[in-house]
Structure 1
Amino acid sequence: MQRIILLLLLITFIGGSAHSQTSKLPNNYNVIWKSQSKNSFESMPLGGGDIGLNVWVENDELLFYVGQSGTFDENNQMLKHGRVRVSSEPNLFKDGVRFIQELKLNEGYILIKSQNAEGQIEFKLWVDVFKPVIHIEAVSEEPVTLHAQYESWRLQDVEIPLGLRHACFSYTSFPGTVITYKDSISTQKGSVQWFHRNKADKLLYDFIVEQQGLNDVKKQIPNTQLGRTFGGTLYGEGMVSNGTDTGKYISTDYKAWKIKSEKPQKKSHIKLALNTGQYGKLDEWYAALNNTIKEARLDKKAFQNTVDWWKNYWNKSYILLNHEQSNQEDTLWQVGRNYQLFRYMLGCNAYGEYPSKFNGSLFTVDPVFTRKKYDWTPDFRAWGGGSFTAQNQRLVYWPMLKSGDFDLMIPQFKYYTRALSAAEARTKVYWNHEGACFTEQLENFGLPFAGGWGFESGARKRNIDTEFGVQTNKHVSYHYVNQLEFSLMMLDYYEFTRKDISSYLPFIKSSLVFFDQHYQYRFNQKTGETLDKNDKLVIFPSTAAEMYKIAKNPSDIIAALTTILNRMEKLPKKYVSKEERAYYKGYKNRVPKIPFDTKKGNKVIKPAESWKHVANKEIPELYPVFPYGIYGVHKPDDIGVAINTFKYGESNEKRNFTECWSQVGIFAARLGLVEEAAHLVKDKLKDADNRFPAFWGPGPDWIPDVDHGGAGMINLQEMLVQTYGDSIFLLPAWPKDWDVKFKLHAPNQTCIEVELKDGKLVQLNVSPKKAKNRIRIPDWVN
């Protein structure tokens, strides 16, 4: 274990405030392709605000899929808006002598250039960060006729086969009929307009409320599907309608609505204006869309404002490795570049109504490229659209604290606060006590997914012996801990930003109350007592993560309660009353101690006091290390038991699983295990096997595997900076021979900018300056 020493005046603080520095990513981090793509799987992400595109050039045509936050249909699938195809006449992509497609990271747009014997053309694609408008600007040497078409495959109501219902996760294995309903599409003068409006009598919401016996409290369950309408308009100045066409792309038939330039010209500008939300009347949706079109026409600074947003985004935070040389075969260089690429993908949904999904975010494409058995439309993704798996989602949002992307965290927080009344209502109905019960996999209106509850018949039939209120699916039953983890994330958000968290406190408090009252209720049912002989809660039946089932006193829950209750006691008076503070003090005394075991003569943390069976690939006994911070480099006297657990613990063999949601590298970094952390972060953030380097996956999830990228970001961040209380530990798990330049954030509105070269601290800027006394560095740094 390396010795940590207090940073004194031996370090020269260069350049004043870290916030004052302007930063630019190296141009060699831009992704550049010099050939067209074979298909949509070889696409490049583009986005802004709450919109994500997959952009590629195939068979001499420019194509892109359009995704947007909140496009949930009747079955809670997350549907694409559609696909757009653009070409020129003459076709300047055909038989080209030069082709370049480049993602301009610093400015947030894609530039495509092509040249052939007939001339050259340049396309600039960008998404307005502040308005839901997509822009395609074309410039050519000679006048050309630009052709554009909107393509849709939702032309009629289509029944989803039983084996292809993973996109509407609740209906997976449902023995009844499930239908994706058609869109409404029309050609206007020189434009194409489309929309999907959920049918009020076909909503998954109503199905689940009735399935789970909650009709009496239906008013307390927010209906996120009713009136939900999404669509848009494809249009451009000087464009005229050009009929329709049909075709087939990959596995899916489509119809195209076409527009083209009224006359050849050197400059063209095509736009897609989008609108997604809940509207009482369709006219309200039309009015909002038309207002967006009007604003886009009047806004002459939209592109510059978008570029400025992206420049500010990169100035907030970065991690650069071997960036001065463009050796793309160097895995360490890939780690630095891919960290930025993935953060770019997260930034594309900065202002979404809903958080970025762990299973593809806004960037899924035709599913057959991910898994051949899912030969269906581009709307398909495994693990659902409007349903969320908390174990995976959390890893997408933890890295946003140290990257300073605090505004990006709000949609994830609102996801839970929006559904709080539903979680509290179901608790009251099922167990007649207080508190919010959020399950591991739930729909965005706050109730468990229908397949986890179980159906009256079929492959996922509800077991008649399953207690009312409990999911019959053995993988997720009794799995409630992640509401505590998101509670901690909200508290950390406060520690980092000092922004008001009044709107999040009801969720945090209700999540805590649930565990206290629920397990007193459970123990009372069994014994007539509320606490054991030591006046402790008995957390049973429960689960240690999704791993150790029918568990008693899981270490992850104990660590979560211990950490969060300590934090609640320390909050200012405006957040916690005197009575609440006294309650948390007593509650903390009721929390059982973390269980221990001995393995190969070493003391280790147990996953739980006991359990009946094992599932999945996780290491819950190390959750006291991350995210709950009970063990780590900040407590050198206690860290040995956690290191023993990493090496010899019950779940030791699960360290071999490193993709997707695995956080083995995060554990290694938190424990100061330099060699392991370095190896694992390379494994996590090296180039994906797919054409775009940060489209990892599928692993157990999907492509792009967003929780894989999030876990990799955390791994790298924790190697560079760890915090505990007022202390900031610099380079706690960093290899001595790795040069790095980074800018990261810490609690109390602190920003740290560092350059390490040849083991020497070349630069260290801290803002505010008084925070320098909180920084600790390892003694190997010169």
Structure 2
Amino acid sequence: MTALRLTLPLLAALLTVGATAVPPASSTPPEQGTTAWRDGALQGDTAGLVSRSDLVQEGPAWRSYQAMPLGNGVLGASVWAEKGYSAQLNRVDTFPDLKSAGRLVVPGLGSLMRADDYSGRLALYDGQVVQSGGGLTARSYVRADADQFVLEVTGADPSQVQTADLKLWAGRTPAVSANGGVAALAETFHDEASGSITGAVAALTAQAQGVTASVVDPLTVRLTFRPRADGSFRLVVGVPSYRGGELRTAARRAVVESPSHHLDWWHAFWDKAAPMRITSADGSGEYVENLRTLQLYTMAASMRGDVPSTHGAVVRMFSSSGDQADWAQDSYWHFNLRMLVSANLGAGIGELNSPYFKFYLDRAELMREWTRTHWKGGEGLCLPEFMRYDGTGDGCDNMQEPSWTRRILTSGPELVNNIWQQHRYTGDTALLNRSYPLMRDVARFYLSAMTTGADGYLHLEHVNALEVQWDTSDPVPDLAAMRVIFPLVADLATSRGDTALAKQLRDAVGKLPPFRTVQRGGEEVLAWSGTDEESHNTQNPEMEALWPWGVFDETSELMQATYRQRVYPQDKDWGMDSTWAARLGLSDEVKRLLLKGIADFQIYPNGFTVHRTGQEAVRNRSFYNEWGGVLTTGLQEALVQSYDGIVHVAPAWPRDWDVAGSVQIEGGHRISTEVHDGVPTVVGIQAGSRDTLKLRNPWPGQQVRVVDSHGRVVVGGTPADLVTLQTAPGTSYTLERVAVPLSSLTFAPLAGQPASAVKTVGNRVLGITRSEPPLLSDLVSVQSPEKLTNLVKAQVGAPIYVDRSYTVTELPGALNGQALVQGSNDDSKATTPPDYLTLNLTRPATVYVAFDPRGENVWWPSWLSSFTRTGETVGTTDQRLVLFKRDVPAGQLSLGPNSGVSGKGNSTYVTFVVPR
């Protein structure tokens, strides 16, 4: 049994002064109950608890949007079952476009994927995808300790020749190499704007028999081999950074293996991360728990390099869609990173914030120069909301017209506050010392940007209220930010002898204007800013005063009303509405918003999300992960809060979700509790520093006390609303009801079993359900385009497009069960190339094409005249399509694009092939 405890240094002796022994339990029969809190920690089986959230594959992930993510913080992979077995490999640092290092394809694993007894899972505790079927097993992982992707297979036929391809796609220009048993692709990327050169090698080798490497074409290299005598083989793809040089040497080095500590790393990570087990009658609690665990996994798998992995909320290193991605992959929006930082802190994995801090601190001097040249009259440092990896940005600029991000100033104060919180949560003094010049200069910039008005207040003018209002004054986020960072920077300045700056900042706090209020929905609420400029985006600037800045709390009627009347309730995946609800003590709202967010955004079965509502997984190929940070932060704040200097336990926890879990707070303390029907059993405190903790009594009006890990009462029985505890680092404490002491509760360690089925909430799914595999045809194959190469069995319910969710509703009998070549609706207006679709036919066949009737005499292409109209139609959930046919001989057949008129076209045609 593994104790679920945070590893903390024993920095001082146990606190013993004033301690008294716990008296015997009352003779009154105690309230019945159980607890996992013992020996100063929540006790339980870490592996079992984490594996509750495994993503189960009841059937293979045939589609790329179903891919399972793997990573080590720098190298990422997405694994799915297309063409037998596919894994796309992506590094976090191939700027400016973060292009993929290549795709590994192993056709010989098709029999595993198609086996009747197939099973698979993303095993989170081990950081692996594990699959089995037909006597074969496959284990995939990105090594936690090396930039190498590994595929281990057992149960293969030793006499059967296998191939493994590394391939890229049209538009790429890699160098290729095949030497002995190592095949490699490599490409470098030169950024003209910054002059930087980045790139990656993808080098493939195998531990097998008779391994030979070859170059298939300019975009593909191949290994050919036979499994070892015991039926096993092992593929290793090394994917290091590459900036040019002799490829064969780089490839050989890339696949050299050191002793692996992969499992050790992942197990240590999970032993440290704060656990949270949620149970509910309807399964929604378990689903939310699964998403939180996935968020922690995603952070561990993606945030360990020199730069953050998230660009505009897209986590590119887990892409399975070639080089396609939303937003600018060479740049970062600070607004899409902040929820990841807060989630990591509360989960006790603050070290994974390192890429975030490193990215901005490494570019501090560049940001100072940017401020000097782009903000007239500005001093110090303004952090652009939108900043490129080279330190240039679109923000902190008052010399051009206002725009989305150009005059957002609050990214800098948020960085300052996050540095301070990181220090408070983790004790990282080195980070604070390194960061002080930046923190000082962000505060100095604000002092330089304000002017004194006729009312005597200091005002910010011609700035943004986030992306909502442009060219406004005194935005709520800025006023709240200055109220928080000015005092803390002043204290740091004083400790460093900069008394003049400290005085300036303290004086400025007293001159900040009050928050403006307006009437909305019949209630007085906070305004967005000092003016009523029109809105450009759907953020709620006024709610920023609650989170991240915490200048109001649940007792504020103004804040409660502002929340009720906010203009844009959680319509994007960035919305921190559930955290705002938690801080206002609205437990029902917390649950409603989390489940609404799942319904609105979580369209992918791997747990990733999209940016806004109404999207389809088959159509949107970018995996977003900021919603995971939103959900995790909201859950953690609902269970434990401390932002106002008082520890609140279960202040907004949904009553019908039972939970056993821990949350990290300031001071490095870990607060653990178990909540049943909305009521905590006990509260455990693992102290991370010498501190004075103030805890709100979780059982109002009841006598409570605090007992240390040696059984001594350190705070005697009291019904007070507030309990004060002096903590010593490395010591654990229990806050308990006198009438229901810990000793009266039955010890029941937290247990968990690996997930055995996909999870569902409404129409959302975590895991892969069994589905119809791509059709294997001995009659036809698609040569190009590659995106249409997966054939489908023609039948009612079959998908007709690779990029839409429309399906067949009715088919002529001659087509049922035959080969269907799906269309791509993104190409509906395509008029080129003339050989848009190329088929290879092994024998004579009848080829049918089904066209959108809206194109007749409008945009139908001329090549369609070589087909005969059948008088039949194909029913779909999109359009009823008109059917044409043509008898063709064996060999190659090319069909043209969907449209014959530039700029016109509706739904794309689909193709059926029937033997003659």
Same fold at TM > 0.5: yes
Residue type of the partner of 1:260?
A: T
**Match of residue 150 from structure 1:** 166
- Given the superposition, is the C-alpha separation of residues 311 and 396 from structure 1 closer, same or farther in structure 2, using an over 3 Å criterion? closer
The one of 393, 396, 407 equivalent to 1:478 is: 407
Q: Is the 8 A contact 1:16 1:765 kept in 2?
A: no
2:51 counterpart letter in structure 1: N
With over 3 angstroms needed to count, the CA separation of the structure-2 counterparts of 1:763 and 1:184, relative to structure 1, is farther
Q: Distance in 2 between matches of 1:255 and 1:13?
A: 56
**Alpha carbons of structure 1 residues 20 and 289: separation in structure 2 relative to 1, 3 Å:** farther
> Equivalents in 2 of 1:626, 1:364: separation in Å?
29
Q: SS of 2:563's equivalent?
A: helix
Q: 1:580 to 1:699 in 2, by over 3 A?
A: same
- Measured in 2, the distance between the counterparts of 1:542 and 1:493 equals 28
Distance (Å, rounded) in 2 between the aligned partners of 1:743 and 1:286:
50
Per the TM alignment, residue 262 of structure 1 is displaced from its structure 2 partner at its CA by 4.9
Determine helix, strand or coil for the equivalent of 2:144: coil
SS at match of 2:422: helix
Which has the higher Rg, Structure 1 or Structure 2?
2
Q: Secondary structure at the match of 2:149?
A: strand
Within 5 Å, give how 1:435-584 maps onto structure 2: 435-449=380-394, 470-472=399-401, 474-500=403-429, 501-520=432-451, 531-571=452-492, 577-584=498-505
Provide the C-alpha distance between the structure 1 equivalents of 2:176 and 2:547, rounded to a whole number of angstroms: 49
Candidates 391, 400, 403, aligned match of 2:344: 400
User: Which residue identity is paired with 2:541?
Assistant: P
Q: Identify if the C-alpha distance between structure 1 residues 404 and 154 changes in structure 2 by more than 3 Å, giving closer, same or farther.
A: farther
Distance 1:580 1:292 in 2: 51
Candidates 27, 33, 42, aligned match of 2:51: 27
1:697 partnered with 2:661: no
Structure-2 change in CA distance of 1:712 and 1:760 (3 Å): closer
- Matching of residue 344 in structure 1 with residue 364 in structure 2: no
Q: CA deviation at 1:421?
A: 1.5
Counterpart pick for 1:735 among 646, 649, 654: 654
Aligned-partner Cα distance in 2 for 1:273–1:47:
13
The question of 1:71 aligning with 2:94 is answered yes
Partner of 2:368: 424
Q: Runs of 5+ in structure 1 lacking a partner?
A: 1-7, 157-181, 206-224, 247-253, 368-377, 454-467, 521-530
Instruction: Pick which of 511-520 and 394-403 moved more.
Output: 511-520
Counterpart residue number, 1:214 = none
Work out whether residues 425 and 667 of structure 2, in 8 Å CA contact, stay in contact via their aligned partners in 1: yes
Q: How does 1:686-725 map to 2 (within 5 A)?
A: 690-699=603-612, 703-724=622-643
More deviation, 428-437/339-348: 428-437
Whether the 8 Å contact between 2:181 and 2:211 is mirrored in structure 1 is yes
CA-CA distance at 1:583 after TM superposition = 3.0
**Structure 2 residue corresponding to 1:40, chosen from 46, 58, 64:** 64
CA shift, 1:690, in A, is 3.7
Check the 8 A contact 1:155/1:183 in 2, yes or no: no
Q: Aligned runs of 1:183-332 on 2, under 5 Å?
A: 183-199=174-190, 203-205=192-194, 226-238=196-208, 240-245=211-216, 255-262=219-226, 264-265=228-229, 266-276=231-241, 282=245, 293-294=255-256, 296=257, 298-299=258-259, 301-312=260-271, 315-322=272-279, 330-332=283-285
Partner of 2:781 in structure 1?
none
- Please state if 1:682 is matched with 2:603: no
Partner SS state of residue 609, structure 1: coil
Q: CA deviation at 1:503?
A: 1.6
- 1:654 pairs with 568, 572, 585, which one? 568
Separation in 1, partners of 2:433, 2:590: 37
For residue 550 of structure 1, give the secondary structure of its aligned residue in structure 2.
strand
1:643 to 554, 557, 560: 560
Contact 1:107 1:310 in 2 (8 A): no
Aligned-pair distance for 1:85? 0.8
Which one is further off, 743-752 or 696-705? 696-705
2:123 to 95, 104, 111: 104
Q: Could you say what secondary structure the match of 1:591 adopts?
A: coil
Equivalent residue number for residue 525 of structure 1? none
What are the Cα deviations for residues 523-543 of structure 1, in whole angstroms up to 9, with x where unaligned? Answer: xxxxxxxx2234432201011
- Aligned-pair identity in percent equals 17
Are 1:126 and 2:141 counterparts? Answer: yes
For residue 463 of structure 1, what is the aligned residue in structure 2? none
Letter in 2 for 1:494: H
Q: CA deviation at 1:303?
A: 3.5
- CA positional deviation for 1:472: 4.1
Tell me which of the two structures has the higher relative contact order, counting C-alpha pairs closer than 8 angstroms and 6 or more residues apart: 1
Bigger Cα displacement from structure 2, 618-627 vs 718-727: 718-727
- Pick which of 726-735 and 577-586 moved more: 577-586
SS at structure 2 position matched to 1:680: helix
Q: Is it true that 1:775 corresponds to 2:690 in the alignment? A: no
Name the aligned partner's letter for residue 80 of structure 1.
S
Report the Cα distance in structure 2 between the residues aligned to 1:137 and 1:395, rounded to whole angstroms.
36
Contact 2:236/2:255, CA 8 A, preserved across alignment: no
Measured in 1, the distance between the counterparts of 2:201 and 2:42 equals 40
SS at match of 1:228: strand
Per the alignment, do residues 555 and 386 of structure 1 end up closer, same or farther by CA in structure 2, a change over 3 Å counting? same
Q: Deviations over 1:657-679 (max 9, x none)?
A: 33311122221111112221221
Q: Which moved more, 1:260-269 or 1:763-772?
A: 763-772
Q: Which residue is equivalent to 1:747?
A: 666
Check 1:104–1:393 CA distance in 2 against 1; reply closer, same or farther (3 A cut). Answer: same
Q: Is the 8 A contact 1:731 1:777 kept in 2?
A: no
Higher helix share: 1
2:518 aligned to 597, 620, 626, which one?
Answer: 597
Cα contact 1:111–1:122 (8 A) shared by 2: yes
Task: After superposition, give the CA deviation of every residue in 1:415-451 in whole Å (9 maximum; x if it has no partner).
Answer: 11122212211222242542222222221122125xx
Match in the other structure for 1:359: 313
* Structure-2 separation of matches of 1:771 and 1:19: 22
Q: Which amino acid aligns with 1:569?
A: A
What is the CA deviation profile of residues 482-528 of structure 1, one whole-angstrom value per residue up to 9, with x for unaligned ones? 121121111111111111111222222222211211234xxxxxxxx
SS of the residue 2:85 aligns to: strand
* Residues 557 and 532 of structure 1: CA distance in aligned 2, closer, same or farther (over 3 Å): same
Deviates most, 730-739 or 301-310: 301-310
**C-alpha spacing 1:19/1:276, structure 2 compared with 1 (3 Å):** farther
- Gap runs ≥5 in structure 2: 1-19, 26-30, 614-619, 703-736, 738-916
Instruction: Work out the CA distance in 2 between the residues paired with 1:123 and 1:420.
Output: 46
Q: Give TM-score scaled by structure 1 length.
A: 0.78
- The aligned amino acid for 2:338 is R
Task: Give the conservation status (yes or no) of the 8 Å contact 1:359–1:382.
Answer: no
Verify the 8 A CA contact 2:601 2:612 in the aligned structure 1. no
TM-score by length of 2: 0.67
CA distance in 2, matches of 1:66, 1:38: 17
The Cα of 1:734 is off from its aligned counterpart by: 1.4
Q: Measure how far apart 1:155 and its partner are.
A: 5.5
Residue 333 of structure 2 contacts residue 387 of structure 2 at CA under 8 Å; is this kept in 1?
A: yes
Q: Is the 8 A contact 2:386 2:405 kept in 1?
A: yes
Give per-residue Cα distances to partners, 1:153-181, cap 9 Å, x unaligned.
2655xxxxxxxxxxxxxxxxxxxxxxxxx
For 2:518 and 2:699, the matched residues in 1 are separated by 34
Within 1, Cα distance between the matches of 2:488 and 2:317? 37
